[in-house]
Amino acid sequence: MKLNELNGKSQNYIKDVLKIIQLYIGLEYLISLTLFGSQIPEKLENNSVSDCDLLIILSNDTPSKLMKQCEKRIIALEIKHKFRDQDGSLPKKALIAVQQSTGMFISHFLTKERYFQENNFSKIFGVNRVFSILFAPRHIVLNNVIESNKSLYGTPIDQITNKPDVPVADILKSLVMNLMISFFSLLISPFRSLKAIKYQLEAVKWSLRASNYYAFEEASTLDEIITRFCLNSQKNHSNKCKQFYKRFLALRAHPSDDLRFTLRSPVHILKIHRIAIMLKNYLAR
């Protein structure tokens, strides 16, 4: 993939990341640099709430001290290129802690080759290990990344590891985790500076992605997923479904406070997962 296929903000960020790796670790330790998520050009999903998801895989003999130094510099780059909020007030610091525990709105993931080969979720994405075991739909997330990405440097990630099987528990974890994020968004919605709508949009987005992968075992664009799930909703709810996701896509393009959307989101998150389970059972017959 060529960098000029991306917007200028993402291009500059990725170039700076490579400079930091070369300066503090050395490119000889870099096994793979991979772009995934909404920034992939073919998805046409890049918008003002999109971060620039980079998976950085280093060789197993990379000194941990150098990785920590590199990590700090890349975090500074995320702030510089406005992919991460700066530490400020106590509430914002709490939000940053939530982001680091869950991997939300983090624009780089620095790991070693063996962790990726082992599909070690917490080590790959740098998230809380207990949280990832209890709530993260680990296999669904990993498979989405492995299946839908663009290699920027080194070995493509599908040559480093294989996709793990997805257990039933993953869709249940997705439901619980995204409802938690949705209710968290409701909780902080009175504080406008915290931009609660971002978390609600993230909960709906990942509900769609996880449910789609669970049912169909493929990574699709949000437009394709929405079309699928609205077609498979009950006839008397089809128009409401379309209206909700039309608003969802509009808010992703231009985020703003929307209490009606926020209040309706938990119900739709439940419906998305229910449809996914029904489709999986139907397709398995």
pLDDT digits (tens, 9 = 90+) for 17-70: 999 999 999 999 999 999 998 777 665 555 655 678 999 999 999 999 999 999
Confidence band, pLDDT 50/70/90 cuts, at residue 144: very high
Of 233 and 73, more confident: 73
Q: Are 65 and 101 members of one domain? A: yes
Q: What is the DSSP string of 166-220?
A: --HHHHHHHHHHHHHHHHHHHHHTT-GGG-HHHHHHHHHHHHHHHHHHHHHSS--
138 CB-near residues (< 8 Å, 6+ apart): 119, 121, 132, 170, 173
Confidence band, pLDDT 50/70/90 cuts, at residue 105: confident
Q: Are 232 and 143 members of one domain? A: no
Task: Report pLDDT for 47.
Answer: 60
| Structural domain boundaries enclosing 186 | 168-283
Q: Are 232 and 277 members of one domain? A: yes
Q: Are 199 and 58 members of one domain? A: no
The count of structural domains within the chain is: 2
Q: Are 44 and 79 members of one domain? A: yes
Task: Report pLDDT for 1.
Answer: 64
Q: Are 152 and 184 members of one domain? A: no
**Cα–Cα separations (whole angstroms), residue 14 to 10, 35, 77:** 6, 9, 9
